[in-house]
A and B are shown apart, each in its own frame.
Chain A
Amino acid sequence: MRTSLKLMTVLFAIALIGCGGKEEKKKESFSYEKKTPKTETTTKKEEAVPASKKVDLTNKGVGPITSVTLDAEINQAMADQGSEIYKKMCTACHRVDKKFIGPAPTGILERRTPEWVMNMILAPEKMVKEDPLAKELLMEFNGSPMANQNLTEEEARAVLEYFRTLK
């Protein structure tokens, strides 16, 4: 008798859980509206600027690059080389002047330090773990990770020079 009572209780509990789950699902499908998340994000936006719009010209990021000196004049030969590398290695996810999978590089140096840009290219895994801005960016761009394309420092520097030409 006792065992059967216990069994009954367990079954009852399971039944309850099962019922609860169903109810939740129903709610989800009923309450699902495209507008709801939008309003949520706008309220968030009111509180904080999205990472892609934030300006931080002191943060050098985390990675192999600690200091980059930019000459006053753009080195056009290096920028051309950077443009080629960008075309081959980056266009799968980046468009020059619009948001695609990732953000557009145009104007990036008005928001980020050159070191931060190169570290993002050379050590994206480390950046999204350890750099607060990169972490936020990952979330802003749907959790789509920036691929490490294994550029050399020299290649990443050339891409940076190319970015200087994008205005």
Chain B
Amino acid sequence: MGLMVAALAFTSCNNSTQTSDKGALGSSAAEKVYVAPGEHDSHYAFMSGGYSGNLTVYGLPSGRMFKEIPVFSQFPTNGYGYSEETKPMLETSYGFVPWDDAHHPDISQTNGELDGRWIFINGNNTPRIARISLKTFETEEIIEVPNSAGNHSSSFITENTEYVVAGTRFSVPVPQRDMSIKDYKGNFKGALTFITVDPEHGHMDIKFQVLMPGFNYDLSHPGRGKSHGWFFFTTYNTEEANSLLEVNASQNDKDFIAAINWKKIEEYVNNGGGTMMPTEYAHNIHSDETHTATSTMKKEVRVVNPADVPGAVYLLPTPKSPHGCDVDPSGEYIVGNGKLSANLTVHSFTKMLDAIENKKFDGDAYGIPVLNFEDVLAGSVEQPGLGPLHTEFDGQGNAYTTFFISSEVVKWKLGTWEVLDRKPTYYSVGHLTIPGGNSRKPFGKYMFAMNKITKDRYLPTGPEMEHSAQLYDISGDKMELLYDFPTHGEPHYAASIPAEIIKDKSEKFFKLTENQHPRKALSDADTKVVRDGKNVHVYMTMIRSHFSPDNIEGVKVGDKVFFHITNLEQDFDVPHGFAMIGANNAELLIMPGQTRTLTWEPKKVGVWPFYCTDFCSALHQEMQGYIRVSPADSNIELSWSLGE
């Protein structure tokens, strides 16, 4: 027995040494991803959470997750979507929608380069666009997109962040009405929405919606450089099928890339073009001064019929059901990743302009001119793999395309269309990201693939596995697989940026002197408990390591207690938590200088404790208090104290 155990121990030792030798010394991959304790990563990566509705923040090359930013989903970890201040962020024309399917993050740009001010992301299910501050890493604004359904070809930024653009995946009746589904063809519309971004505050406002034919608008990207002023959308289901799309939407040999000259439509709209259509959509803004979000219901939106603006919209035939629509750093090449096509199609912007100038049209679709495939084609990458989905660029004249079915990333050369390298992914890759890979200036050192299937890559965790990502070094001629790491939710795309562009601007705390919350308590003198009928407002402060007040009496069963709590700390990384026994919503995590409100409806007579949930100091366990809850008919007066 003893011998066998010893032997086993030996064998396993030998094995592990051998593998680590191969991994570390054979390729030095370990060295390339190793970030020593206390050292910082060189890049941030912001991954969409897919069905988590949120955005996660990672470091590259380590693959360490730093933060989950709640965007479209309630987040009991810090009370987002539960606290009174943040609940308005999740209001929509459908009411309170505390979840979504978050897809495509994109970082704001200036002159076509990442400026690191904000990151935008789309809610796919209940069409919304969110803007997240890259100073506070918190969601500052969410705007709903009316007339849209399946907000998928979103949220991509023009080269000076003039617009964040949102396209509908599903076409629907516009305006919505009671009609037979079978009458889809010719009657449904696809809304492409252009939302302006205020250059100073980032505030979003819908400028116009282009009501396109009833196709599915899958993905999009802005023109840049020479093609700045245009926007490109892939389409599928140009058949306008309304059932069994996997067959019926795969009939046409070619679908389209829709090229939209938004500058032309902007000019048309500025001159009073388009019509105001009654509708409803929510616009929610959170303020760092009041620490409070407000929700406004907007009542109309400007819509534009593309046939009314000649020269603004063209259709570029693209084989078959193109998914990703990617524009190279120069703005000349528009890649249509035809999911069901053997070849990868690349259109030329110059050729497109030439064909338009010479009016070389091949008919029209609902009044929108269709260009000749051969007239706009720059070239195709011949049989590079199976099931192309997305392409990014390294800024060195190379493109990298993911192939879902053959589960690989293929590197190819712009202009010669030759395949240079291919590397497998594990498994079934969806999106890929190169930092700045969809801007004029990519930072082509790393590329990571976000995979749809994980299977055996990690220790099994039951039927549900987090999706895997793989990091590649692309600085050499050949791609080198460096590292595997799990992601959270289902990342559909990520935006990545060199850390030095944003890290020094990151806020450390909110200044108490700038706190404009209407129910703040900035010092002990401001703390109080006020009754307003059944509503009891507690103006409370917190600092290491006590609440003020921490003893409250005079609350009754049937009251609604609002804890308005201000964190008086003015130092980096000293949040405090607040948890009330029996609270039916969440806890709160309150940042230094911030005020947050939790509502609690006491149901039982007794003396009930509350405490700080964030281990804040050596005396964290002492950070607690009591509330006495008396029967509804009691006449005990409100009183409160600290240290008495």
Stretch of B114-122, B182-190, B262-270, B521-529 at the chain-chain interface: B521-529
In the complex, what's the smallest C-beta–C-beta distance from B624 to chain A, in angstroms?
A: 14
| Interface positions of B from 519 to 571, Cβ below 8 Å from A | 522-525, 541, 543-546, 548, 568-571
Is there contact, CB below 8 Å, between B525 and A87? yes
In the complex, what's the smallest C-beta–C-beta distance from A64 to chain B, in angstroms?
A: 16
In the complex, what's the smallest C-beta–C-beta distance from A149 to chain B, in angstroms?
A: 4
How many residues of A are counted as interface, with CB atoms below 8 angstroms from the partner's CB atoms?
A: 18
Is there contact, CB below 8 Å, between B571 and A147? yes
Is there contact, CB below 8 Å, between A147 and B525? no
How many residues of B are counted as interface, with CB atoms below 8 angstroms from the partner's CB atoms?
A: 23
Interface residue? B580 (CB, 8 A): no
**Per-position contact with A for B560-595: 1 when CB-CB < 8 Å, else 0?**
000000001111001000000000000000000000
Is there contact, CB below 8 Å, between B509 and A150? yes
With A87-B525, A88-B512, A149-B571 known to touch, is A93 a contact of B617 (CB < 8 Å)? Answer: no
Q: Which residue of A lies closest to B617 (CB)?
A: A145
Interface residue? A89 (CB, 8 A): yes
Measured in the bound complex, the distance between the Cα atoms of B512 and A3 in whole Å is: 67
Interface residue? B618 (CB, 8 A): yes
Interface residue? A55 (CB, 8 A): no
Measured in the bound complex, the distance between the Cα atoms of B568 and A151 in whole Å is: 13
Is there contact, CB below 8 Å, between B618 and A92? no
In the complex, what's the smallest C-beta–C-beta distance from A11 to chain B, in angstroms?
A: 19
For the residues of A in contact with B, the DSSP-based class is loop
With A92-B543, A93-B543, A143-B619 known to touch, is A150 a contact of B523 (CB < 8 Å)? Answer: no
Interface residue? A12 (CB, 8 A): no
Measured in the bound complex, the distance between the Cα atoms of B546 and A129 in whole Å is: 23
Q: Which residue of B lies closest to A146 (CB)?
A: B544
**Chain B contacts of A148 at CB under 8 A?**
570-571
**Per-position contact with A for B626-644: 1 when CB-CB < 8 Å, else 0?**
0000000000000000010
**Chain B contacts of A93 at CB under 8 A?**
543
With A147-B569, A147-B571, A149-B571 known to touch, is A91 a contact of B524 (CB < 8 Å)? Answer: yes
Is there contact, CB below 8 Å, between A92 and B571? no
Is there contact, CB below 8 Å, between A100 and B643? yes
Is there contact, CB below 8 Å, between B571 and A145? no
**Chain B contacts of A101 at CB under 8 A?**
546
| Interface positions of A from 133 to 158, Cβ below 8 Å from B | 142-145, 147-151
Is there contact, CB below 8 Å, between B512 and A144? no
Is there contact, CB below 8 Å, between A88 and B523? yes
Q: Which residue of A lies closest to B571 (CB)?
A: A148
Is there contact, CB below 8 Å, between A142 and B541? no
Q: Which residue of B lies closest to A93 (CB)?
A: B543
Q: Which residue of B lies closest to A85 (CB)?
A: B513
Measured in the bound complex, the distance between the Cα atoms of B643 and A93 in whole Å is: 11
With A91-B524, A148-B570, A150-B570 known to touch, is A143 a contact of B643 (CB < 8 Å)? Answer: no
**Chain A contacts of B571 at CB under 8 A?**
147-150
Is there contact, CB below 8 Å, between A145 and B509? no
**Per-position contact with B for A77-106: 1 when CB-CB < 8 Å, else 0?**
000000000011101110000001100000
In the complex, what's the smallest C-beta–C-beta distance from B173 to chain A, in angstroms?
A: 56
Is there contact, CB below 8 Å, between A92 and B619? no
**Chain B contacts of A88 at CB under 8 A?**
512-513, 522-523
Is there contact, CB below 8 Å, between B570 and A92? no
Is there contact, CB below 8 Å, between A144 and B525? no
Q: Which residue of B lies closest to A149 (CB)?
A: B570
Q: Which residue of B lies closest to A87 (CB)?
A: B523
Q: Which residue of A lies closest to B546 (CB)?
A: A101
With A91-B523, A92-B523, A92-B548 known to touch, is A147 a contact of B543 (CB < 8 Å)? Answer: yes
Is there contact, CB below 8 Å, between B618 and A143? yes
Is there contact, CB below 8 Å, between A92 and B525? no
Q: Which residue of B lies closest to A141 (CB)?
A: B619
Q: A residues engaging B (CB < 8 A)? A: 3, 87-89, 91-93, 100-101, 142-145, 147-151
Q: B residues engaging A (CB < 8 A)? A: 1, 509, 512-513, 522-525, 541, 543-546, 548, 568-571, 574, 617-619, 643
What 5 A-B pairs are tightest by C-beta distance, nearest first? A143-B618, A92-B543, A150-B570, A149-B570, A148-B571
**A89-B568, A92-B524 known, 8 other contacts, Cβ within 8 Å:** A87-B523, A91-B525, A92-B541, A100-B643, A144-B618, A144-B619, A147-B543, A149-B570
27 A–B contact pairs at CB < 8 A? A3-B1, A87-B523, A87-B525, A88-B512, A88-B522, A88-B523, A89-B523, A92-B523, A92-B524, A92-B543, A92-B546, A100-B643, A101-B546, A142-B619, A143-B617, A143-B618, A143-B619, A144-B619, A145-B618, A147-B543, A147-B544, A147-B569, A147-B570, A148-B570, A148-B571, A149-B569, A149-B570
